[in-house]
Amino acid sequence: MIEEDFYATVKLKNGEEIFAKVAASEEEDRTMLIISNPVVISEIAGRGGILGYRVEKWLKSTTEDMFILDMEDVLTLSESYDVEMIMMHQSFTRQSQRKNENEYKLDRGMGYIANVNDAKEILEKIFKKS
């Protein structure tokens, strides 16, 4: 059974702190968290105090946007009603999705595509001519 989604800050036992849209799920005798678009939010400080926030993907080497955490790995969980944090998360998520939609695939129309051996041969010919 999956509970209704809510925004939360999740502190993991390994020290990581993430902000995400969360849903709790009871599976047999375990509680799992389904987290959507998890981000790490850090404060950017200046001379006069906090200037703003930096929002980054939690896991940078994947394009997945949903993850499952076992409650065994969670130190604490705090539901968030902070409108500013929720708006930052939603804005970042929208921008990330737009960025992924606009990524281009390589094709011959973008320029010459060669394998390493062909490129090496061509560059050696150019070098010998000069």
Record the pTM.
0.69
Answer whether residue 35 shows pLDDT above 70.
yes
Answer whether residue 17 shows pLDDT above 80.
yes
Cβ neighbours, 10 Å, residue 18: 20
One DSSP character per residue, 17-30 reads EEEEEEEEEEETTE
Interval 79-124: pLDDT, tens: 999 998 899 899 988 888 777 655 656 565 656 666 778 778 888 8
Interval 40-83: pLDDT, tens: 988 888 777 767 888 999 998 888 889 999 999 999 999 999 99
For the chain, which residues make up each domain, given as ranges? Answer: 6-129
Token pair for residue 20? Answer: 């995400």
With respect to CATH, is domain 6-129 assigned 3.40.50.80?
Answer: no
Cβ neighbours, 10 Å, residue 51: 10
Say which amino acid occupies 107. Answer: D
